[in-house]
Chain A
Amino acid sequence: MKNKNWNGEFPEVPEHVHQTVLSTLAGLDSRKVKKVRRMKKKKIIILAAAIVAVLGMTVSASEIFKWNQKAAEVFVADEEQQKSLVTEQIAQEEYQTISDSGLTIQAIQTIQDNNCFYALFEVTAEDESMQITPDHSMKFSTDYPDSENPFSMLSWYFVDENRQTVSNSRYFEIIGTKSNPGNEDLNLKIRFTSLNASGGKAVDAGPVLEGSWEFTLNLHATEPVRYEINKEYQIAGCTVMVREIELTPISVKVVCDEEDVRQLETLEGINLEEADNLRSLFVNGIRYQDGTVVEEMGHQELTAGYGNGNYTKTARFSSVIDVDRVSALLVGDNMDEILLP
């Protein structure tokens, strides 16, 4: 009797029950969160508490789901979208703050899916007379204890002066492009080791403050909505076989036949092997089922290339989209349509 798969006879968790669980978890009162880790050194203080708790505020449900404003600006997400992405665990608030050597780093927010990653930190110098400018940089290393490095590229910088005035505190962003996302949740360790001054012309002038600030980010694996298309479309006057499209609220993946895309390459007079951009397959907009068109504000290509007889490209949307309502992708300067089934 014990050998029978009884568990398989029981029903799966219904979607609405799962959503209730996710909403409940997303809305947990973070003020009751205990310390993330033990103190490693006397100087290092690790606090695990919501920003709102630090400010001594009472939070409403909408505030719990609300992203940091800087992150919301990067992804252009309204309150409903912010809530939705928190529930889907694409966006996560981080509650880790570490102080060492007169510098406090707070992990604020991560937003990520199977194609891209964004992390927002705030770096604050205890010495209020110290100014952290966009030309400063942070030195850090990353580690992936339980999995392979999913990133093909990581870039990082302090936000520029258009987004934040100069003071002793500044937001720091890490942006990653994934080429090997994996299907499991990812433990990402980020260990900052110094705040560095700029020597001008992108030359690092060396550390201003050195210390150890180590964060562990648990990133949820995102399952995109996948469409098998296998249909020919007229794109920039060429017939192109579109094989597959994947969508998440923040990015898109398009897979087309290699030979057809080579035609587009010839037409545009470019060479993809030399890292040229294929404009005719830029996702410049989406059409919703009700006919509304949302245009992209500048194409943000993540990866593109040939392989296995296909051309595959991924791109980040300039604003969060509602995946369930998308009826077509609009590509190239002519906004040629690729219809979704």
Chain B
Amino acid sequence: MNKKQFTAQVLEAEKSLYHIAKSILKNDEDCADAMQNAILHAFEKLHTLRNEMYFKTWLTRILINECNHIIRSRKEQIPYEDYYEEAQTLTKQEDYSEVFEAVMELEHNYRIPFVLFYVEGFSIKEICQILKLSQSTVKTRLYRSRKLLKEKLAGVYGYEK
């Protein structure tokens, strides 16, 4: 894969990368940092990608690592609760849909598999590779996230419980 193909594939995946970063970090500035770091890291390690078919899965894995790294570095600077609260405040300043906000209120462990599966269309197998979890764990988390969301969204946009 050359630089142009890399660029094209990153741009194709840009929206998806943003959604995933947003679901972990919430704050847009942090999302931009994570996406930037992931792109640089991926380009540097491009020779390690064995099959270009799996580029998006591979890049998503790198992005999630970068997001986790940002959270860890923030935790060293400020308590995670404070960071989370700050991010929440920033989120509320924007005009987001109730559905999006409901998804963002899910616990981290449920939110990420949910976003990968329902929002970005990754398969269970791909999510297992990205999150390094077993199939049963991913399925359980999806089941719970579905259940929680149904409760949260009851009544929103005529959403059926």
Contact = CB atoms under 8 A, between A and B. Distances in A.
**Same assembly:** yes
Interface of A: 1-2, 4, 6-7, 9-14, 16-18, 20-21, 24-25, 28-30, 32-36, 48, 95, 185, 218
A7 to B, nearest CB: 5
A16 B32 CA distance: 8
A36 B46 CA distance: 14
Nearest to B117: A2
Contact of A25 (B31, B39, B115): B39
Nearest to A23: B36
Interface of B: 1-4, 6-8, 10-11, 14-15, 18-19, 22, 28, 31-32, 35-36, 39-40, 43-44, 46-47, 94, 96-97, 99-100, 103, 115, 118-121, 146
B32 A17 contact: yes
Interface centre among A9, A16, A185 (most CB of B within 10 A): A9
A20 B11 CA distance: 12
B119 A6 contact: yes
Given A2-B118, A17-B28, A24-B40, A7 B11 contact: no
A35 B82 CA distance: 47
A11 B115 CA distance: 13
Nearest to B96: A11
B103 A9 contact: yes
Given A16-B28, A32-B44, A25 B11 contact: yes
A20 B35 contact: yes
Contacts of A6: 99, 103, 118-119
A34 B28 contact: no
B95 to A, nearest CB: 9
Contacts of A2: 118
A248 B94 CA distance: 31
A33 B18 contact: no
A21 B36 contact: yes
